[in-house]
């Protein structure tokens, strides 16, 4: 979502009412927004720069023009003042507030009472046929008084998360004229289709927590009708043009639908029940306005008016055996990659579907995108990978939208063919360097010893991959420093899965071959533990340990053999 305009709250004085002997009434809140209208640019996914005229916030100076304009959020009953403080587009600009009643205009100041909750457009009122396609539009949200967690002051409109979706188009033949007013509007022919000012793949996903209710606020600021379909989920239409279809005590007239046409200038609100399991659900223009510019353009498809409602994964993993994963369709395979949302599981990669044999076993992985995966395999004698023939267990391959390639050639960096030097965990850090752990105690060139690296350690390879693909090795994580060193069945603290979060400090997420016990935490082979706020290097320490996934508590048996963080 675009930046929200800053609210300037002005409480009306109490004293005047009391002193005059008038009956005391709770003063209405009032809010003021100061907006600029300025020329600017947006860049389409193909790199084409398009001129726009856009609103932005005036916080003592105009922020750059944005597309769409800032989202204005007010409360039902508030007195709203919108000042168009600055206009540098080169012609007069006025504001319209479709759906608001009694808008009073004094110069460039617009005041009205936000009398009804809902989703509204605000847009250019002068020369709209040019100024609106140029970008002078934005969303105004009116929250119901006293119930901000509902769209319309009715429990049937309650939501957990919301997303404004301003739909629009761009015809660069109009926008990029030095004087857009010379454009022949009968030739209007958009080639960019936008959600919140972006075209896919630059659109933002709509993220919803597991089992949450998501409110989609559609606004069509474009000149054409747009029909939007949600795949894999349903949307419950609760209002059109902020006229609620639910209105207690009248019956619930909301519509549980798949596809909805939002005509030009109209708004619509729909609720979506996000599921428990991780997933991505296409929300897209069913008229197939899913392209950018022309077919000759490398960013042509997929593009356009497309985004995804996403229940994000907290963790990706693979299992050691063909373990049943609750809630996921069988058959189960240790060459599949699964995801966990924090509430439920899903499969994100079907190993045999991408050409791996049923005997392949993934023992290390990284998920880069819905169709891009890095993986290493467990079989000492080699694993057949489409187009790559036999891949060794010390190698890491990349699958990218159907194309397989060798990403990390283990033997080229000093890892041998023996099973002991099987890469059974890896991570790619933010700087592109690679962490690995091996099945046994590895020997790699140039590593300062003692200590000798063990299977419960993480080695750090500084290098660029796939080329030139050489390593400067160092010890990143010494398991025995933090109580991970034992191999005595069922305890086996050999690291078989690793992911590193560098969001704040370094948190190292681990899985072990068997059960594990650090000084403060013990767990199972299918658990994921976290070394929080780690100090890495030969003197490894963890500020604390925590259990990120207690697999058996989530209904997952077996043994996790590979993991990654989103």
Partner 1 sequence: MSSEISQRVAPGSWLPPAVWRLEMSALAFAAALGASAPVQAAVPCTNGPTFNLTTATGNISTPDGNSVFMWSYRNAAGAAFQVPSPVLCVTQGQTVTINLINTALPEPTSIVFPGQTGVGTIGGSPGLFTSEIGPGPGTVTYRFVANEPGTYLYESGTNPHKQVEMGLYGVLIVRPSVASNRAYTDPDTLFDTSQQYLLLIHDIDPFLHQAVERGQTYDITAKHDRYWTINGRSFPDTILPNNDPLLPEQPYGALVTVDEVPCATPGSGAGCTPAGGVANRPALVRYANAGLSNHPFHPHGNHLRVIARDGRLLAGPGGAGIPAIAAMEAFTKTIGSGQTYDLLVRWINEQEFDPTLNTVPVVIPGLQNLVFKDDVTVYSGSPYLGFQDELPPAVVSSNDCGELYYPWHSHALNEFNNFDEGFGGLATLFRVEPTGGCP
Residues near partner 1, by CB under 8 A: 191, 225, 227, 229, 231-234, 250-261, 275, 282, 286-288, 290-291, 294-296, 301-302, 328-331, 347-350, 352-354, 370-371, 402
Closest to partner 1 by CB, 371 vs 502, is 371
Rounded least distance, CB 278 to partner 1, Å: 13
What token pair was written down for 15?
A: 């004293």
Residue number with CB closer to partner 1 (105 or 288): 288
Please give the DSSP secondary-structure letter assigned to residue 283. E
CA–CA dist 384, 403 (Å, integer): 14
Q: Which tokens in the block code for residue 514?
A: 């068997």
Whole-number Å distance between alpha carbons of 151 and 276:
23
Q: How far is the CB of 373 from partner 1 (least distance, A)?
A: 9
Contacts of residue 160, defined as CB under 8 A and 6 or more positions apart, other chains included, come to 149, 208, 209, 212, 213, 214
Q: Which residues pair with 530 in a beta bridge?
A: 509, 546
| Distance in Å, CB of 65 to partner 1, minimum | 27
Strands 306-311 and 206-207: parallel
Torsion of CA 176, 179, 184, 186, to 10 degrees: 60
Q: Which is nearer to partner 1, 48 or 282 (CB)?
A: 282
Length of the chain, in residues? 566
Strand partners, 215: 162, 271
The Cα 9–Cα 22 span in angstroms is: 24
Q: In the beta sheet, which residues pair with residue 121?
A: 139
By beta-carbon proximity to partner 1, the closer residue of 22 and 329 is 329
Please name the residue that has the structure tokens 């007010």.
74
Cα separation of 224 and 231, whole Å? Answer: 22
Query: Cβ 135 to partner 1, closest distance in Å?
Result: 21
Nearest C-alpha neighbor of 565 from the set 509, 491, 496, 518 = 509
SS3 content of the chain, % helix, strand, coil (to 5): 10, 45, 50
User: From the CB of 555, what's the least distance to partner 1, in Å?
Assistant: 17
Query: CB 291 → partner 1: shortest distance, Å?
Result: 6
The residue among 291 and 454 lying less far from partner 1, judged by its C-beta, is 291
Q: What is d(CA 304, CA 282) in angstroms, rounded to the nearest whole number?
A: 12
Residue number with CB closer to partner 1 (35 or 272): 272
Output the smallest distance, CB 229 to partner 1, in A.
5
Considering beta carbons, is residue 345 or 477 the nearer one to partner 1? 345
For partner 1, give the closer residue by CB, 291 or 361.
291
- Least distance in Å: CB of 264 to partner 1? 13
């Amino acid at each position: 979502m675009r930046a929200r305009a800053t609210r300037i709250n002005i409480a009306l004085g109490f004293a005047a009412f009391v002193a005059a002997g008038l009956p005391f009434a709770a003063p209405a809140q009032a809010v003021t927004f100061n907006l600029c209208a300025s020329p600017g640019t947006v860049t389409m996914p193909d790199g084409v720069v398009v001129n726009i005229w856009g609103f932005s916030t005036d916080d003592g100076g105009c922020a750059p023009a944005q597309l769409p304009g800032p989202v204005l959020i007010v409360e039902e009953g508030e007195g709203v003042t919108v000042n168009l403080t600055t206009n540098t587009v080169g012609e007069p600009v006025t504001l319209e507030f479709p759906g608001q009643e009694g808008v009073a205009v004094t110069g460039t100041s617009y005041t009205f009472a936000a009398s009804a909750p809902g989703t509204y457009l605000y847009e250019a009122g002068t020369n709209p046929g040019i100024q609106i396609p140029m970008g002078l539009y934005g969303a105004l949200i009116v929250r119901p008084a006293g119930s901000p967690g509902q769209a319309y002051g009715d429990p049937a409109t309650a939501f957990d998360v919301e997303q404004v979706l301003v739909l629009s188009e761009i015809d660069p033949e109009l926008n990029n004229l030095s004087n857009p007013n010379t454009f022949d509007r009968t030739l209007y022919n958009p080639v960019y289709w936008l959600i919140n000012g972006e075209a896919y793949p630059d659109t933002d996903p709509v993220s919803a927590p597991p089992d949450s209710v998501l409110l989609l606020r559609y606004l069509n600021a474009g000149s054409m009708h747009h029909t939007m379909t949600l795949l894999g989920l349903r949307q419950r239409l609760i209002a059109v043009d902020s006229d609620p279809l639910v209105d207690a005590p009248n019956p619930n007239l909301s519509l549980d639908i798949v596809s909805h046409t939002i005509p030009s200038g109209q708004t619509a609100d729909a609720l979506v029940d996000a599921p428990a399991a991780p997933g991505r659900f296409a929300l897209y223009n069913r008229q197939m306005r899913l392209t950018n510019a022309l077919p000759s353009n490398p960013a042509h498809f997929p593009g356009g008016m497309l985004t995804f409602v996403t229940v994000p994964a907290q963790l990706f993993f693979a299992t050691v055996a063909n373990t049943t994963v609750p809630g996921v369709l069988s058959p189960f395979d240790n060459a599949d990659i699964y995801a966990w949302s924090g509430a439920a599981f899903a499969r994100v990669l079907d190993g045999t579907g991408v050409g791996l044999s049923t005997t392949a076993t993934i023992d290390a992985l990284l998920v880069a995108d819905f169709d891009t995966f890095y993986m290493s395999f467990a079989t000492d004698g080699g694993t057949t990978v489409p187009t790559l023939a036999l891949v060794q267990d010390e190698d890491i391959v990349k699958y990218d939208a159907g194309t397989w390639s060798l990403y990390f050639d283990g033997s080229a960096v000093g890892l041998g063919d023996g099973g002991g030097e099987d890469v059974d965990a890896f991570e790619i850090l933010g700087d592109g360097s690679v962490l690995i752990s091996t099945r046994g105690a590895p020997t790699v060139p140039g590593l300062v010893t003692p200590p000798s690296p063990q299977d419960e350690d993480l080695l750090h390879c500084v290098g660029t991959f796939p080329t030139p693909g050489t390593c400067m090795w160092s010890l990143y994580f010494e398991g025995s420093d933090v109580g991970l060193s034992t191999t005595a069945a069922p305890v086996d603290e050999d690291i078989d899965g690793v992911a590193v979060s560098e969001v704040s400090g370094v948190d190292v997420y681990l899985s072990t071959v068997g059960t594990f016990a650090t000084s403060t935490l013990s767990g199972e082979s299918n658990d994921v533990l976290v070394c929080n706020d780690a100090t890495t290097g030969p003197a490894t320490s963890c500020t604390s340990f925590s259990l990120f996934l207690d697999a058996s508590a989530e209904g997952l048996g077996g043994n996790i053999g590979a993991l990654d963080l989103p």
